């Protein structure tokens, strides 16, 4: 299976364009250890690496060299690590991408779509650690390489990375309980990914977007552009019936952006914390607008009610339809 670049190097905030080569005037025999690769982190938001001409001659296994050990929690094999990284093609010496100075990158260690070498480099390290990592092809993009970003089938990947934080992959919200908006009754059965029971009051729907916590989680706060993993139930105010629910399948990843979700989701879920349960009342202008969503029985004048559990900040889905 070809591993996805979206989960590693295709960062929403940084276009996938190869930058200039950063080779040095060192000897042409190349590097044999990570110690031969120099990192300049004098500018914390714009670090650089120097790879000797001839590239890094990597072994068959991922190699790591800790620059500064962290003092935070240890990253576990089932957790999500949030990192900043600078990535180079260790064979050609070309820079691939840097996320320093931008939003962190989520790396779920149990996700089979992640690069095995990167997972190995993060597992067991403490939050705050900075390290260099050399990943051979077999533990990177495999024999196919990734031509779209300039990685050949025999190319080594080199990272300089910092572990910013770590979080558990939760299955249910947890935190401080908050009362539902006046008039709305929301009941969510105990258990994982359960469909919410929403009682719609009599009368006209609100004209403006409502976003209110039912549970306030203690996790990371979302920002525009983040992708979140969520359980949700959607109810049509007019029909008072459920038109969609993640309980039919599994929690869904979607991006808090105009191309990833309807406007009411982006506005209503940005700034919320992981672990929260949020009720959204979305008027047509922030929902499916005048076109509606006929396949779901939604008219262009329908107001929608969603109950959303924010379970994690995750890598953006490769492609998706609006929620």
Write the DSSP assignment of 153-173 as a string of letters. TTPPEEEEEEEEEEEE--SS-
Assess if residue 21 is contained within a domain: no
The overall average pLDDT reported for the chain is 88
Cα angle 64-68-70, degrees, rounded to a multiple of 5: 100
Assess if residue 12 is contained within a domain: no
3-state SS track over 130-153? EEEEEECHHHCCHHHCEHHHCECC
pLDDT number for residue 24: 33
Percent of the chain scored above 70 by pLDDT?
89
Domain range for 242: 175-314
- 118 and 183 inside one domain: no
Assess if residue 18 is contained within a domain: no
Burial 30-48 (b: 16+ CB within 10 A, else e): bbeebebbebebeeeeebb
Assess if residue 69 is contained within a domain: yes
The tens digit of pLDDT for each residue in 35-73 reads 999 999 999 999 999 999 889 887 889 999 999 999 999
- 216 and 271 inside one domain: yes
pLDDT number for residue 317: 85
- 50 and 164 inside one domain: yes
Model confidence at 31, pLDDT cuts 50, 70, 90, reads low
- 122 and 182 inside one domain: no
Assess if residue 321 is contained within a domain: no
Which among 114, 145, 168 is the end of a domain? 168
- 190 and 297 inside one domain: yes
CA atoms of 290 and 293, how far apart (whole Å): 9
pLDDT number for residue 193: 94
- 120 and 200 inside one domain: no
Among 202, 220, 200, 221, CA closest to 210: 200
Instruction: Please tell me which residue, 31 or 4, carries the higher pLDDT value.
Output: 31
- 215 and 124 inside one domain: no
- 188 and 309 inside one domain: yes
pLDDT number for residue 30: 54
- 268 and 182 inside one domain: yes
For residue 311, pLDDT beyond 90 = yes
- 249 and 188 inside one domain: yes
* CATH number, domain with residue 143: 3.10.50.40
Which among 100, 135, 168 is the end of a domain? 168
Which among 132, 151, 168 is the end of a domain? 168
- 152 and 255 inside one domain: no
pLDDT number for residue 182: 72
For residue 21, pLDDT beyond 50 = no
- 159 and 275 inside one domain: no
Instruction: Give the global pTM.
Output: 0.85
| Backbone φ and ψ of 234, nearest 5° | -115, 130
- Give Cβ neighbours of residue 39 (< 8 Å, ≥ 6 apart): 47, 48, 49, 67, 132, 160
In total, how many domains does the chain have? Answer: 2
pLDDT number for residue 58: 77
Whether residue 127 contacts residue 164, with contact meaning beta carbons closer than 8 Å, is answered with yes
Q: DSSP label at 36? A: G
Assess if residue 218 is contained within a domain: yes
The tens digit of pLDDT for each residue in 124-139 reads 999 999 999 999 999 9
The tens digit of pLDDT for each residue in 233-271 reads 999 999 999 999 999 899 999 999 999 999 999 999 999
């Amino acid at each position: 299976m070809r591993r996805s670049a979206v989960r590693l190097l295709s960062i929403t905030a940084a276009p996938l364009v190869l930058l200039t080569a950063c080779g040095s005037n060192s000897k042409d025999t190349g590097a044999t250890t990570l110690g031969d690769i120099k990192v300049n982190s004098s500018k914390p938001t714009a670090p650089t690496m120097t790879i000797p001409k001839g590239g890094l001659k990597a072994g068959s296994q991922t190699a790591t060299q800790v620059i500064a050990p962290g003092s935070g929690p240890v990253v576990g094999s089932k957790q999500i690590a949030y990192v900043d990284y600078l990535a180079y093609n260790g064979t050609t010496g070309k820079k691939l991408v840097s996320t320093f100075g931008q939003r962190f990158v989520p790396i779920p260690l149990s996700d089979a779509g992640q690069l095995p070498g990167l997972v190995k480099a993060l597992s067991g390290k403490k939050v705050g650690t900075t390290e260099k990592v050399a990943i051979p092809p077999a533990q990177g993009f495999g024999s196919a390489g990734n031509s779209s970003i300039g990685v050949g089938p025999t190319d080594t990947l080199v990272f300089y990375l910092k572990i910013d934080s770590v979080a558990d992959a939760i299955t249910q919200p947890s935190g401080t309980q908050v009362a539902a908006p006046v008039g709305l009754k929301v009941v969510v059965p105990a258990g994982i990914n359960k469909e919410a029971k929403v009682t719609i009051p009599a009368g006209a729907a609100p004209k403006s977007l409502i976003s209110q916590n039912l549970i306030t989680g203690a996790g990371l706060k979302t920002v525009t552009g983040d992708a979140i993993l969520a359980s949700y139930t959607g109810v049509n105010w007019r029909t008072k019936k459920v038109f969609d629910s993640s309980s039919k399948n599994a929690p869904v990843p979607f991006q808090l952006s105009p191309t990833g979700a309807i406007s009411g989701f982006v506005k209503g879920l940005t700034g919320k914390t992981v672990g929260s349960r949020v009720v959204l009342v979305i008027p047509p202008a922030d929902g499916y607008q005048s076109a509606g969503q006929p396949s779901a029985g939604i008219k262009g004048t329908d107001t929608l009610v969603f109950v959303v559990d924010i379970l994690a900040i995750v890598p953006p889905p490769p492609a998706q339809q609006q929620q």
